[in-house]
Chain A
Amino acid sequence: MKAKPKGILVKSALLFVLLAAVFFPFLSGEYYLHVAIQALMFAVLALSWDMAARAELVSFAHAGFFGLGAYVSALSFLKLGLPLPLCFLAAVLVAAGAALVLGYLTLPLTGIHFAIATLAFTQTLQVVALRLPGLTGGAMGITVPSLFGGARLFSYFLIFALLLVLTGISLYLERSPFRLAFTAMRTSERVAAVLGVNVVRYRLLVFLVSAIFAALAGAFYVHYTSTTIPYEAFSLHIGVASLVMPVFGGLYSTAGPLLGAVVLYGEEEFLRTAISYGYMVVYGLILIVVILFMPQGILGVMRRWNFWK
């Protein structure tokens, strides 16, 4: 293997992307800045989903955590009058609590069973948000002031910073003993346990971190767009996006979900203006085509073509 030239190529590509991301908001117009902010938000969601998936937790709860983050943060602002950073903190704490309880209750479940249980969790939260109009505004939703008074530049760097932290965590997980533990658990939790892996601890830990970032994405979302409703915050769209993006980009990696999020959100934004619901049709198609023909996503295709050579 010619490891060195490949390493340099990857590093310079990364540096370029990073620099482009830092300077982008100063060069772009408001519309593209808005698109970029949303794309970064979905990248947070997608990467957080992938992290749980690495430990075989196929979660439909991420729309639930996203919505929970959005509602808790918005309500902390509206009902408790907390300053914004504390609102975000409240979202983190509530989501962490929910993740621990949900994670603990679902410990005996794997695969499909875990997926169904987490789907039920999200749907229950949506019903609760709809049925407590006194607190949540019911189907009418909630409205909060715009983040940073609508200054998109600050919003951009906030979500960018959040994504950088998450990317750092994800890269650490990929390069530490965690990767071996998660991959082992994905094959068989029993075998992993017999070899000394504390399965319960790792499962809860990764689900906790994953849920916290999904909730942070939700909290960011509600303050950035300044409004949300239960059918949006806990929606199928969020649930679909959180898993289609990693699947499309390449599962169980850091680059895959990020790549998937940027490409697919771009597609979504483009099609949204052309055909309504068109982007969701494309999501459905992509899921089917990727599962049937390119199970390792874009990264897998790039590997096969020896893209980096």
Chain B
Amino acid sequence: MSEWLLFGQALLNGILKSGLYALAATGMALAFGVVRILNLAHGDFLMLAAYFAIFLFSRFGCDPLAAIPVAFLLFFALGAVLYRGTIKPVLRAGELNQLLLTFGLSVLIQNLALIFFGGNVKTIFVSYKTITISLGGLSFGAGRLLTFLLAVVLLLALYLVLQRTRFGRAIRAVSQDPEGAALIGIAPEKINLYAFGLATGFAAVGGMMLSVILYAEPLIGLGFTMKSLAVVVVAGLGNIYGVFWASLLLGVAESLVSTFVPEGTGWAEAIFFLLIFFALIFKPRGVREA
């Protein structure tokens, strides 16, 4: 394969990969931007949804793609319950408590998964998993293409909802100024509940696709939490609109490194961490008056 073809293939891989990252990170950005909570358990919802997909497939032969609406609703409800029971009580309790709480959720979910699902990798074989599409010397898996397209469609839908609907305006109002929103008759509590539900719902969609293109494993969530963090930090904490571009950037960067750097597959991970680190430190941040 020529250098250029290799480059094109790496680029394509990166772009398609970013679909899953965008699905994962959108929820984290929603929770941070609206509810103002950094959910360190976010990736673990993806993991749970992936196991859910595998359960549905192996038990009922239900295709993960077809089950996406069910999973979305189920995880929306799970998110709402978790919000009421755990997140809401710490919203006023300071950042340390919030961080430790979601960290505790993450540790709990991961290790319950280890106990109930076992430490082994679980995969499913849907009919389209092995389909590979070739185009002018480039090739890619149908599952990845589907994931990317789904991410594009869902993000567009989310943007439209945020921009064009009453509900979307209410979400944006709360995200910009919760107290101001309360003054003009929006109930921030209710919006927070929906936003957190949406966040876990998006994670569920990501998890269903994860089961199709990769596999499920109890600790896989941590990786997605870190990757979502990287996307969210690069996009600007809480900026929902920047998520797509940041995902694209990270997906492509990861893919290029793993293709062109010797033994790059492992080092690519480090890129995420370094990006998180330097994006945090060097991003000019607004200064608030005393």
Contact = CB atoms under 8 A, between A and B. Distances in A.
Contacts, number: 122
B99 A120 contact: no
Contact of B111 (A113, A131, A284, A288): A284
A131 B280 contact: no
A127 B104 contact: no
A225 B216 CA distance: 32
Interface in A286-305: 286-288, 291-292, 295
A157 B101 CA distance: 36
A257 to B, nearest CB: 14
A288 B226 contact: no
Interface string B58-100: 0000000000000000000000000000100110010111111
A117 B38 CA distance: 13
B100 A291 contact: yes
A128 B267 CA distance: 8
Contacts of B105: 284, 288
B266 A130 contact: yes
Nearest to B89: A292
A119 B103 CA distance: 12
Interface residues of B, number: 41
A9 interface: no
Interface in B248-290: 263, 266-267, 269-270, 273-274, 276-277, 280-281, 285, 290
B86 A288 contact: yes
A94 interface: no
Contacts of A12: none
B114 interface: yes
Contacts of A111: 95-96
Contacts of A278: 111, 115
Nearest to A283: B107
A229 to B, nearest CB: 15
A123 B263 CA distance: 18
A157 to B, nearest CB: 33
Interface in A42-83: 53, 58
B109 interface: yes
- Residue of B90, B109, B111 ringed by the most chain A CB atoms within 10 A: B111
A288 B108 contact: yes
Contacts of A106: 280-281
Contacts of B211: none
A168 B41 CA distance: 37
B276 A112 contact: no
Interface in A112-149: 112-113, 115-117, 119-121, 123-124, 127-128, 130-131
A53 B100 CA distance: 12
A239 to B, nearest CB: 9
A58 B96 contact: yes
A123 B275 CA distance: 12
A131 B271 CA distance: 13
A143 B114 CA distance: 28
Given A127-B270, A281-B112, A287-B107, A243 B280 contact: no
A120 B276 contact: yes
B175 interface: no
Centre residue among B103, B105, B274, B290 by max chain A CB count within 10 A = B103
B192 interface: no
B110 interface: yes
A285 interface: yes
Contacts of A244: 104
A1 interface: no
B111 A280 contact: yes
A285 B112 CA distance: 11
A162 B68 CA distance: 54
Nearest to A190: B290
Contact of B38 (A53, A112, A286): A112
Contact of A292 (B90, B114, B115, B285): B90
A236 B290 contact: no
A116 B276 contact: yes
Contact of A281 (B96, B98, B108): B108
Contact of B101 (A117, A119, A123, A287): A287
Given A131-B263, A247-B100, A117 B280 contact: yes
Contacts of B104: 244, 283-288, 291
Contacts of B273: 120-121, 123-124, 127
B100 A127 contact: no
A255 B269 CA distance: 39
Contacts of A124: 270, 273-274, 277
B39 to A, nearest CB: 11
B255 to A, nearest CB: 17
B110 A280 contact: yes
A287 B111 CA distance: 14
15 contacts: A108-B285, A116-B280, A117-B277, A117-B280, A119-B276, A120-B273, A120-B276, A120-B277, A123-B269, A124-B277, A127-B266, A131-B266, A284-B108, A284-B110, A285-B108
Interface of B: 38, 86, 89-90, 93, 95-101, 103-112, 114-115, 222, 226, 229, 233, 263, 266-267, 269-270, 273-274, 276-277, 280-281, 285, 290
List the 10 closest pairs (A to B, CB-CB), nearest first.
A287-B104, A284-B108, A284-B107, A280-B111, A111-B95, A120-B273, A120-B276, A127-B270, A124-B273, A288-B104
